[in-house]
Structure formats: C-alpha cells, structure tokens
C-alpha cells in the first residue's frame, strides 16, 4: 500500500509512511502529520497497537469502531489522505481513521453583521461546526441536507445544500442545483466567489444571493423556504432566492420593539437613497437648477463656490475619489493604523481642501453624508453595489442634470422590477403566499 500511495502523491516530504512492527505482527501506516490531530492518532492507533496490543481486540476495534472506515479501493487512498485521514493496512485489509485536525472548536463572534441584542455567534471556517450551528437553531426534522459533489474541484471544497423540505419551492431548488452544476471553476475559496459564479450575467448591478455570517438569519430564511449553500472553509453562507428588501434588513429589526425597528428601516432606506443620489443631486442642482435650493442656501453655496476653480462635477469627483480611497485604505490597514488614516483623511484633508478653496464647504457635507449613509446599509455586498451605482448617477447628472437623475432612478426601478432571483421576482414587495402554496402543494404530493 505504501508504495502505491507514495506513487499517487508523488512522494511528498510531509507524508509519513511507516511499517510498524510491535514484535507480534506488522502494520502499514501513513498520514500527513500536518493535517491530523496527533493525539487522536496516538490514542486511536498507536497505543492499542503497541503498549496494549491484543490481536483479537485490535481486530475487533478496526471492524467495530466508528472512527475506522474500510478503504479497499486503492484509487480512494490519496483523496482520503488529503482530507486528513490516517491510512493503515492490517492483515491485508485497509482502513481509514478520521483524525482530522480541527482548528475551530467554538463559533466565531459576529464581525460583519453585528447585532445589539441578537445572538452574537457567527459561522466559522469549519463546515461541520457550521452545520451544528444551523441544526441547533433550526431544529426541524424537515431540514434537508445534501452534499454537492463536484469531482473536478481541485480544492475539494465541500459544498452543502440546505433547505426545508416542506417549505422550499421545488422549481427554485432545481434551478439552484442546475446553476450549481454549471459552476466550472475548479478552485473555490470563498463564498463571494461562488456567488459571483452562480449569479447570472444579466444580474450584475445588484446581488441576487445574500451572503451572511449569521446562523439566526440563515434559520429565518430556511423557515421562509429559502435555500442555503454552505462552503467548507468559508465563514459565510449563501442564501437564495432573495429580494431587494432582504439586503436592507438587519437581524435587529426582528429583535427590537416594533416602532423602533420601523423607524430604523425607514432611516435605512432614506440613507440608501441619499448615498445613491446625493452627489448627483449636488451636481445637477448646482450646475443646472439652482432654483431648487432655498434662496439662503443658494447664496451661501454661490459664495462658497466662488473661489473653486473647477466645475462642480470635478469637485464632486475629487471628493468622492478621496473618500473612496479613504474607505478602501481603512479596510485594508491594521485596525490601529486605520483610525489614524480616518482622522487624517476625514478631518484634516476635508478641512484643508475646503480652506484651499478646492471644494466648497457644502461639498464636504455632501461627501460625509454619502460616506456615512453608505455604512448604514447592513449588508456589505449590497453597500458595495450602491457605492458603484452612485457613479452612474453622477455621470448622468453631468450631462443632463436633475431630469437625468430622475429618469435614471426610474430606469433603475424598471431594471429592478425586471430582475429575478432564481426565478422569483426580485423587487416584489409582497409575495402572494396563498398562490405560492398552491403552486408548491401538488409537487410536494408527487414527491412524497
């Protein structure tokens, strides 16, 4: 066996291959020490084989213990080894012993989707632990779990499909499966990458898959009949199909008192509209329709813009470039340097730019409102999309002013109405529950 394994793997240096002899009998034995928990190997194999050797007991252990799997096919061996199994051949029989080294033993704290009063635990990079988190929160016998096997994936990332068998829409499930089959990238490292591969080319302006790190959000969506895709090694899971409005809901909306959460939802939508249109509105109002302002404001802007050498759109682009660079820098920088960067950029640069008459003082306010409002959006993917879409509005406003902004907003709504997320309308405010149930039931009877 050892020779075959060595040949299959090209004899790597980090592979231990040993023929062990305890004086009575011999055992062939190989594993990657880096991928295995050495204590488990010792307790499970080495101790029974050496110090406490009893041939009958050892044979019984190999056949009855759940940790040992029969692995008779030589072509499986290398795959098992790579997953962290220990291979051993004893009396002509080959067994794989699962001693995979687990890095994570407890759930991570939430990092991207923080919540004030909700659960604080998030997914980890270990699929089994993630599954445990979901099973704990969504403790239902109708939870369906499916492996999605793709043999040609080099990273051998395990992909798992979860759904509620009673609530899921079978046509959507079929669509998701086929879309997953179409993914032909052979190295999938993160959830975001899978999202990109699964999304339709037509749907590049808005995300159709919600990426989350929160088990409670996953459980809630499972309960609504959504489908979950989990990827080993990723702290995030994929939820689909989703609607536009799911991206603007934070889990706290479900945990806070009614009016508080309503207020926050309204605030979020206003903030999203502001961050999307404010720079464009500034350009169009300053350069095309100054009569829209109150007269005081018009005169103040006029006064403060008097020294600015560039037209309004250059001014807007300068400031937007600065703020985007700042945001990008503070994400990548280590945390303690990040705050310094924010101070330097936000306060000093903004103040200096205004005093140097490069931008007007109102523009500083516009820029900060745009940046802050963007952070109000609870989903980071969605906030990226909004950040980029804002430039479309800026471009239109340069050429056609206020009317252009209004028309673009209208076109955006038309586009959203046209969008589908895995066959379900993306911009639907109310999904007709009764109709959906009728559609689902006959299929369910057929399946059951």
Cβ–Cβ under 8 Å, residues 320 and 280: no
Least distance to another protein, CB of residue 345, Å: 24
Least distance to another protein, CB of residue 310, Å: 9
| Whole-angstrom distance, CA of residue 363 vs CA of residue 368 | 9
Closest alpha carbon to 267 in 377, 369, 366: 377
Least distance to another protein, CB of residue 205, Å: 16
Cβ–Cβ under 8 Å, residues 6 and 28: no
Least distance to another protein, CB of residue 421, Å: 25
Least distance to another protein, CB of residue 250, Å: 37
Any idea what the Cα angle at residue 259 is, between residues 211 and 376, rounded to 5°?
A: 40
| Whole-angstrom distance, CA of residue 34 vs CA of residue 192 | 28
Least distance to another protein, CB of residue 208, Å: 22
The tokens describing 393, both together, are 């509005």
Other Cβ atoms less than 10 A from the Cβ of 152: the count is: 8
- The residues that touch another protein, with contacts defined as CB under 8 A, are 286-291, 295-296, 298-306, 308, 311-312, 361, 398-401
Least distance to another protein, CB of residue 351, Å: 15
Select 184 or 291, whichever has its Cβ closest to another protein: 291
Select 168 or 396, whichever has its Cβ closest to another protein: 396
Select 158 or 203, whichever has its Cβ closest to another protein: 203
Select 151 or 296, whichever has its Cβ closest to another protein: 296
Q: What percent of the chain is helix, strand and coil (3-state, nearest 5)? A: 55, 15, 30
Select 213 or 315, whichever has its Cβ closest to another protein: 315
Q: How many residues does the chain have?
A: 448
Closest alpha carbon to 207 in 385, 373, 380, 377: 385
List residues bridging with 231 in a β-sheet.
159
* 3-state secondary structure (DSSP) of residue 120: coil
Least distance to another protein, CB of residue 207, Å: 23
Q: Is the peptide bond before 241 cis (omega within 30 degrees of 0)?
A: yes
Select 51 or 399, whichever has its Cβ closest to another protein: 399
Select 66 or 306, whichever has its Cβ closest to another protein: 306
Cβ neighbours for 274, distance < 8 A, ≥ 6 positions apart: 369, 370, 373
Select 116 or 356, whichever has its Cβ closest to another protein: 356
The tokens describing 233, both together, are 């090694």
| Whole-angstrom distance, CA of residue 447 vs CA of residue 443 | 6
Closest alpha carbon to 260 in 117, 120, 61: 117
Cβ neighbours for 216, distance < 8 A, ≥ 6 positions apart: 118, 119, 137, 251
Least distance to another protein, CB of residue 370, Å: 19
Select 249 or 361, whichever has its Cβ closest to another protein: 361
Least distance to another protein, CB of residue 423, Å: 27
Q: Which burial class, exposed, middle or buried, applies to 91 when counting CB atoms under 10 A from its CB (0-12, 13-18, 19+)?
A: exposed
Closest alpha carbon to 51 in 29, 93, 20: 20
| Whole-angstrom distance, CA of residue 136 vs CA of residue 131 | 8
Closest alpha carbon to 366 in 352, 350, 377: 350
Select 378 or 401, whichever has its Cβ closest to another protein: 401
Select 342 or 402, whichever has its Cβ closest to another protein: 402
| Whole-angstrom distance, CA of residue 213 vs CA of residue 238 | 9
Q: Which residue matches tokens 């996953």?
A: 218
């Amino acid at each position: 066996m050892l020779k075959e394994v060595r040949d299959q793997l090209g004899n790597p240096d980090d592979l231990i291959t040993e023929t062990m002899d305890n004086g009575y009998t011999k055992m062939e034995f190989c594993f990657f020490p880096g991928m295995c928990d050495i204590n488990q190997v010792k307790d499970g194999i080495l101790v029974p084989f050496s110090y406490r050797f009893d041939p009958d007991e050892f044979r019984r252990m190999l056949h009855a213990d759940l940790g040992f799997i029969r692995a008779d096919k030589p072509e499986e061996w290398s795959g098992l080894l790579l997953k962290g199994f220990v291979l051993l051949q004893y009396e002509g029989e080959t067994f794989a012993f699962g001693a995979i080294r687990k890095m994570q033993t407890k759930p991570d704290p939430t990092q991207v989707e923080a919540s004030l009063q909700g659960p604080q635990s998030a997914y980890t990079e270990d699929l089994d632990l993630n599954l445990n988190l979901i099973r704990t929160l969504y403790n239902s016998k109708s939870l369906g779990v499916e492996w999605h096997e793709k043999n040609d994936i080099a990273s051998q990332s395990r992909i798992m499909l979860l759904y509620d068998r009673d609530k899921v829409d079978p046509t959507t499930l079929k669509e998701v499966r086929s879309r997953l089959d179409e993914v032909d990238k052979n190295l999938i490292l993160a959830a975001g990458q899978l999202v990109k591969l699964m999304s339709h080319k037509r749907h590049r302006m808005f995300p159709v898959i919600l990426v989350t790190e929160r088990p409670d959000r996953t459980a809630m969506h499972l309960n609504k009949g959504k489908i979950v895709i989990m990827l080993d090694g990723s702290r995030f899971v994929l939820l689909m199909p989703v609607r536009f409005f799911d991206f603007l809901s934070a889990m706290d909306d479900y945990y806070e008192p009614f009016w508080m959460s309503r207020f926050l939802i309204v605030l979020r939508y206003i903030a999203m509209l502001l961050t999307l249109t404010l720079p464009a509105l500034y350009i169009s109002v300053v350069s095309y329709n100054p009569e829209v302002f109150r007269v005081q404001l018009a005169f103040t802007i006029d006064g403060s813009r008097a020294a600015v050498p560039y037209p309004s759109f250059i001014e807007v682009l300068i400031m937007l470039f600065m703020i985007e660079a700042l945001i990008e820098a503070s994400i990548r920088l280590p945390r303690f340097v990040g705050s310094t960067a924010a101070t330097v950029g936000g306060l000093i640069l903004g103040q200096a730019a205004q005093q140097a008459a490069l931008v007007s003082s109102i523009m500083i306010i516009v820029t900060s409102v745009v940046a802050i409002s963007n952070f109000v959006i609870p989903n980071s993917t969605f906030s990226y999309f909004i950040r980029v879409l804002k430039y479309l509005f800026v471009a239109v406003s340069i050429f056609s002013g206020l009317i252009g902004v209004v028309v673009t907003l209208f076109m955006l709504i038309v586009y959203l109405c046209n969008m589908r997320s895995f066959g379900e309308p993306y911009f639907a405010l109310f999904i007709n529950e009764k109709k959906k149930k009728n559609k689902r039931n006959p299929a369910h009877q057929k399946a059951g």
